[in-house]
Amino acid sequence: MTPKKIDGVIEAVHYGADGQVETVRYYERRGAVFSDRKLIGRDELISLLKARKVFVIGTRKPFQGASFETGNAVRLAGAAGREVLTTANTPSDKDHLEGVPAF
């Protein structure tokens, strides 16, 4: 199920050697349209999620500008200060955005 209001669609992820997300490539919602591809670091993504912004995984439909095939929402799990980014409901000790290709 996709949330009604989406603030960003994550298209690809880059993991560091320690298994944490370093950078994600995403599209940002700007009113009724989405931006071009943007890069955002892990810390900034976590701060946006804490500010109740909604990010989902997905891909842009070819030739359909603001239309996306979307998947699960990205959420924070774990204790404060040691959060992990995940799309699953299972507990984990490292970041895992299931279904998102690496770049």
pTM, full prediction? 0.87
Report the pLDDT value the prediction gives residue 5, as an integer from 0 to 100. 87
Along the 103 residues of the chain, how does pLDDT read in single tens digits?
444 689 999 999 999 999 899 999 999 998 888 889 999 999 999 999 999 999 999 999 988 878 899 999 999 988 878 889 999 777 678 888 988 999 8
Can you tell me whether residue 42 is helix, strand or coil?
helix
User: What pLDDT shows up at residue 6?
Assistant: 92
pLDDT at 1: 45
Cβ neighbours for 83, distance < 8 A, ≥ 6 positions apart: 46, 76, 77
Q: Please report which helix (H) or strand (E) contains residue 2, including its range.
A: none
Q: What is the pLDDT of residue 2?
A: 46
Domain ranges, ordered by start, for the chain: 8-86
At residue 33, the pLDDT reads: 86
- Partner residues linked to 65 by β-bridges: none
